Amino acid sequence: MNAVRPKQRDDRRTGWLFLLPVMLGFAVFYAYPTVRGIWYSLTDFSLLNDPAYVGAENYRHLIDDDQFWNALKVTAYYVVLNIVSQTALALGLAALMHRLTRSVVLRAALLVPWLVPNVTIGLLWAWLLDPDLGFVNHLLRGVGLDTTLSFNSPFWAMPLVALVNSWAYTGYTALLLYAGMLQVPQHLYESASIDGAGELRMFRSITLPLLRPVLALVLVVSLIGSFQIFDTVAVVYGGKAPIPETRVIYYYIYQQAFTYFHMGYAAAVAMVLVVVLGLLTVLQMRMLRASRSDLA
Amino acid sequence: MFSGSKIGRAAAWLALATALVLTVFPFYWMVRTALTPAAALYDGTTSLWPQGATLINFRRVLGLVGPEEARAAGGSGAHINFLRYTLNSVVYSGLIATVQTFCCAMAGYAFARLRFPGRDLAFGIIIAALMVPPIFTLLPNFVLAKQLGLLNTIPGLVLPSLLMTPFAVFFLRQFFLSIPREVEEAAMLEGVGPWGMFWRIVLPMSRGPLITIALTTVVWSWKDYLWPLLVGKGEDTRVLTVGLGVFLQQSPNRAPDWTGLMAGSVLSVVPVLLLLIFLGKRLVESLNFSGLK
Residues of A in contact with B275 (CB under 8 A): 115
What is the band of B142 on the pLDDT scale with cuts at 50, 70, 90?
A: very high
Q: What is the model's pLDDT at position A56?
A: 94
Check pLDDT > 80 for residue B63: yes
Q: How many CA atoms lie within 13 A of B170 on its CB side?
A: 12
Residues of A in contact with B117 (CB under 8 A): 12
* Nearest alpha-carbon partner for A13 in B169, B203, B183, B118: B118
- In chain B, % of residues over pLDDT 90: 57
Residues of A in contact with B114 (CB under 8 A): 11, 14-15, 18
Question: Is A99–B248 a contact, with Cβ atoms under 8 angstroms apart?
Answer: no
Check pLDDT > 70 for residue A292: no
Instruction: Tell me the per-residue pLDDT of A215-244, one tens digit each, with 9 for 90 and over.
Output: 888 888 898 899 999 999 999 998 789 999
Select the residue from B31, B111, B136, B241 to test the A interface by mutation, using most A Cβ atoms within 10 A: B136
Q: Looking at A49-166, which runs of residues are DSSP E strands?
A: 52-53
Check pLDDT > 80 for residue B143: yes
- Per the CB < 8 A criterion, the answer to whether B107 and B118 are in contact is no
> Smallest Cβ distance to B136: which of A104, A111, A270?
A270
Our measurement of the distance from residue B280's CA atom to the centroid of its chain's CA atoms, rounded to an integer in Å, reads: 14
Q: What is the model's pLDDT at position B6?
A: 85
- Per the CB < 8 A criterion, the answer to whether A31 and B162 are in contact is no
**What single letter denotes the amino acid at residue A72?**
L
Same domain, B111 and B159: yes
CB-CB neighbours of A195 under 10 Å: 8
What is the band of A142 on the pLDDT scale with cuts at 50, 70, 90?
A: confident
Question: Is B26–A115 a contact, with Cβ atoms under 8 angstroms apart?
Answer: no
Residues 235-254 (B) with a CB less than 8 A from some CB of A: 240-241, 244-245, 248-249, 251
DSSP B232-270: --SGGG--HHHHHHHHHHHS-TTS--HHHHHHHHHHHHH
Question: Is A22–B129 a contact, with Cβ atoms under 8 angstroms apart?
Answer: no
Q: How far is A282 from chain B (nearest CA, A)?
A: 10
DSSP A38-78: HHHTTEE--SSS--EE-TTHHHHHHHH-HHHHHHHHHHHHH
Looking at the complex, does the CB of residue B265 fall below 8 Å from at least one CB of chain A? yes
What is the band of B80 on the pLDDT scale with cuts at 50, 70, 90?
A: confident
> What CATH code is carried by the domain that includes residue B171?
1.10.3720.10
What is the band of A76 on the pLDDT scale with cuts at 50, 70, 90?
A: very high
Q: What is the model's pLDDT at position A289?
A: 66
Residue B239 CA to residue B232 CA, distance in Å, equals 7
* Nearest alpha-carbon partner for B116 in A116, A12, A82, A282: A12
Same domain, B229 and B92: yes
Would residue B287 count as lying in a domain? no
Residues of A in contact with B92 (CB under 8 A): none
Same domain, B104 and B207: yes
Same domain, B30 and B132: no
Q: What is the model's pLDDT at position B76?
A: 75
Instruction: Tell me the per-residue pLDDT of B218-234, one tens digit each, with 9 for 90 and over.
Output: 999 999 999 999 999 89
Same domain, B69 and B94: no
Same domain, B37 and B130: no
Question: Is A100–B2 a contact, with Cβ atoms under 8 angstroms apart?
Answer: yes
Our measurement of the distance from residue A270's CA atom to the centroid of its chain's CA atoms, rounded to an integer in Å, reads: 16
Q: What is the model's pLDDT at position B253?
A: 65
* φ, ψ of residue A295 in degrees (nearest 5): -80, -30
* φ, ψ of residue A52 in degrees (nearest 5): -115, 125
Question: Is A127–B162 a contact, with Cβ atoms under 8 angstroms apart?
Answer: no
Same domain, B156 and B225: yes
Would residue B7 count as lying in a domain? no
Same domain, B89 and B210: yes
- Domains of chain A and CATH, by start: 35-290 (1.10.3720.10)
The length of chain A in residues reads 296
- Label the pairing between strands A43-44 and A52-53: antiparallel
**What single letter denotes the amino acid at residue A189?**
Y
Would residue B171 count as lying in a domain? yes
Check pLDDT > 60 for residue A8: no
Could you tell me how many CB contacts below 8 A there are between chain A and chain B?
Answer: 303
The interaxial angle of helices B207-223 and B166-178, nearest 10 deg, is 170
Total number of domains constituting chain B: 2
Enter the ipTM. 0.91
* φ, ψ of residue A133 in degrees (nearest 5): -105, -10
- What is the DSSP secondary structure assignment for residue A295, as one 8-state letter? T
CB-CB neighbours of B186 under 10 Å: 11
Burial label for A6, CB within 10 Å (0-12, 13-18, 19+), is exposed
Would residue B290 count as lying in a domain? no
Q: How far is A227 from chain B (nearest CA, A)?
A: 10
Which SS3 state, helix, strand or coil, does residue A6 take? Answer: coil
For A223, B4, B42, B262, the CA distances from A122, given in Å and listed in that order, are: 20, 39, 22, 11
Mean per-residue pLDDT over chain A, rounded: 90
Question: Is A104–B134 a contact, with Cβ atoms under 8 angstroms apart?
Answer: no
Question: Is A15–B141 a contact, with Cβ atoms under 8 angstroms apart?
Answer: no
Residues of A in contact with B215 (CB under 8 A): none
| More confident: B270 or A213 | B270
What is the band of B291 on the pLDDT scale with cuts at 50, 70, 90?
A: very low
- Per the CB < 8 A criterion, the answer to whether B25 and B17 are in contact is no
Mean pLDDT confidence for B124-130: 89
Question: Is B116–A21 a contact, with Cβ atoms under 8 angstroms apart?
Answer: no
Residues of A in contact with B163 (CB under 8 A): 21-22, 24-26, 29
Which SS3 state, helix, strand or coil, does residue B181 take? Answer: coil
Residue B267 CA to residue A123 CA, distance in Å, equals 13
Show the domain range for B126. 85-234
Range from A168-177, B109-118, B190-199 carrying the lowest mean pLDDT: B190-199
Select the residue from B224, B290, B292 to test the A interface by mutation, using most A Cβ atoms within 10 A: B290
Q: What is the model's pLDDT at position A295?
A: 52
Would residue B3 count as lying in a domain? no
Instruction: Tell me the per-residue pLDDT of A129-140, one tens digit each, with 9 for 90 and over.
Output: 998 889 999 889
What is the band of A296 on the pLDDT scale with cuts at 50, 70, 90?
A: very low
Same domain, B147 and B72: no
- In chain A, % of residues over pLDDT 70: 93
- End-to-end CA gap in chain A: 42
Mean pLDDT confidence for A100-119: 93
Check pLDDT > 60 for residue A247: yes
Same domain, B154 and B262: no
Q: What is the model's pLDDT at position B180?
A: 86
- CA-nearest residue to A266 within chain B is B139
Would residue B272 count as lying in a domain? yes
Question: Is B241–A231 a contact, with Cβ atoms under 8 angstroms apart?
Answer: yes
Q: How far is B64 from chain A (nearest CA, A)?
A: 22
Which SS3 state, helix, strand or coil, does residue A93 take? Answer: helix
Select the residue from A42, A85, A125, A127 to test the B interface by mutation, using most B Cβ atoms within 10 A: A127
Q: How many CA atoms lie within 13 A of A252 on its CB side?
A: 28
> Smallest Cβ distance to A37: which of B12, B136, B159?
B136
> Smallest Cβ distance to B248: which of A176, A239, A273?
A239
Same domain, B53 and B172: no
* φ, ψ of residue A44 in degrees (nearest 5): -100, 115
- Per the CB < 8 A criterion, the answer to whether A183 and A205 are in contact is no
| More confident: B49 or A56 | A56
Range from A44-48, A59-63, A242-246, B188-192 carrying the lowest mean pLDDT: B188-192
